[in-house]
Structure 1
Amino acid sequence: MQDDNGDTLIFAPEEDAPKGERKYWHILIADDDEEIHAVTKLALAGVELDHRTLKFSHAYSGEQALQFLQAHSDVALILLDVVMESEDSGLQVARQIREELGNDEVRIVLRTGQPGYAPEERVILNYDINDYKTKTELNRVKLLTSVVSSLRSYQQIRTINESRRGLEKIVNAAANLMERHNIYNFSEGVVTQLASLLGLNPEGLLCVRQHVDSEEILVLGAAGHYAKGIQRPLGAINDAKIMRYVKDCLAQQQHLYFDDASVFFIQGKGIKAAAYIDSSQRPC
């Protein structure tokens, strides 16, 4: 693509805004048809969402799209053509974004002018995308609806991930504090504060560690209906699911996330602990 001076453009030249100062939603249009780029920008011209404008960048092949995403972590949405340099290049890009780039935040809307190459049902089931549209059905209203819903989803995912990263920092800091305080009293405080940070009732929270001289797992601190288990073996809780989650966390020595719970691994000098959080418990 060329600008008014005849210079070749591959990507929009704008630099990423500093974190916390972003005043726009960054959208990448990936399509080998220059007219689609122009029509998309025209259809979304003047749109603002939550007092933030739309910023557009451009790629004309799957390879360019991946290169751009590697270099720009602030892209919220990619409008991705299925058929570019190959019949399934868009599908391969969608898979690589999730699996190779490890980017689970950017929202992916696939667009195609040739739906026969990639049937909708197969694509939706087999690829981690957020929407799949034929170009003929994307009038301004439908395009705007798809873009706005994707951007709101992106914001929710970002909020969840930032909260998770913040919580993991707190859990890692807790290991150092555990070395400096009475471990039982401190553990009880950990589970209560974790509940408060997560907006949960202080129920179903458990802090445990492996006993130094054996594989036995000891309850260090608990809240709610688990409180009676403090300073007793985890098996006394008599909950196979919690036992499995905690054992897996300690064995793998990493944070684990499940649909109904999260288990945070805490390690300090001579300490291996797991904080179990029942995420199904919510305040009334």
Structure 2
Amino acid sequence: MMTEQLSKDENLSGWINGFIGVVLFSGGLPATKLAVMEMSPTFVTIVRAAVAGVLALLVLWIGKEKRPVKNQLVPLLLVSIGCVIGFPLLSALALQYLTSAHSIVFLGMLPLATAVFGVFRGGERPHPAFWLFSVTGSVLVIGYAVAQGISASPVGDILMLLAIILCGMGYAEGAKLSKTLGGWQVISWALVLALPVMIPLFFIYLPDDIGAVSARGWFGMGYISLFSMFIGFIFWYKGLAQGGIATVGQLQLLQPFFGLGLAAYFLHEQVSLGMIGVTIGVILCVAGTKRFAK
């Protein structure tokens, strides 16, 4: 009985931590849009990884954390490729071709990508009804974008799709590794692995007119460096490890709508009543995936 209660408490904690992570991640694409409006996508990717990497190294040093063992290095490298380099770079490049709203809609596919990698790499086996709710939620999000008649760019769409695939891989690998290495330790070591590459690239890609960047541009850069690249992952990986990759990963279905709300506030994009209706449908899908996750 006590074991069952502990399991329920851990599952609830997983959803809470996962939700906090999603809220923090939601500002990522709008903030990236602010940054790439004034700086190149490559430089933005380098800075966010370098700043977060230095912060992670400092935290690891203060906490005197043990180094990863040999068999943890490959999963950490995959996290680094997917979450530190792949998604940030590809999404930043995509924002040169897409509006913030259009790019955010692709995040609706992220829970499905995370769940698929969780099945193949994490050994999870959700109930068939789980997949029904997951796919339905993804279709609702994508269908919402199509209904809005947002103009699309094939190049931007392909870049965002690749970004989602790499991010799903990174999420699943990180969640699996979190069970043995710890949630914040995973993203910290992944950032540290990329640091020897990012620091030299920072000076190579440093633009001559860096002083001309406005406060809005630096705000966007600061947000994605601290919250999207580091702090958000601490809650996210802990939540995935506690509640399950495929299960808690479905909270990402809410991320597009949080992101659109932030985009409306900071980028003055319109938020329609249709978004509210679809949000309710997505919340129901998240509830369904939670019910049939095990």
TM class by smaller structure? under 0.3
What TM-score results when the alignment is normalised by the length of structure 1?
0.26
Structure-2-length-normalised TM-score? 0.26
Higher relative contact order (CA 8 A, sep 6+): 2
Counting helix residues as a fraction of each chain, which structure ranks higher?
2
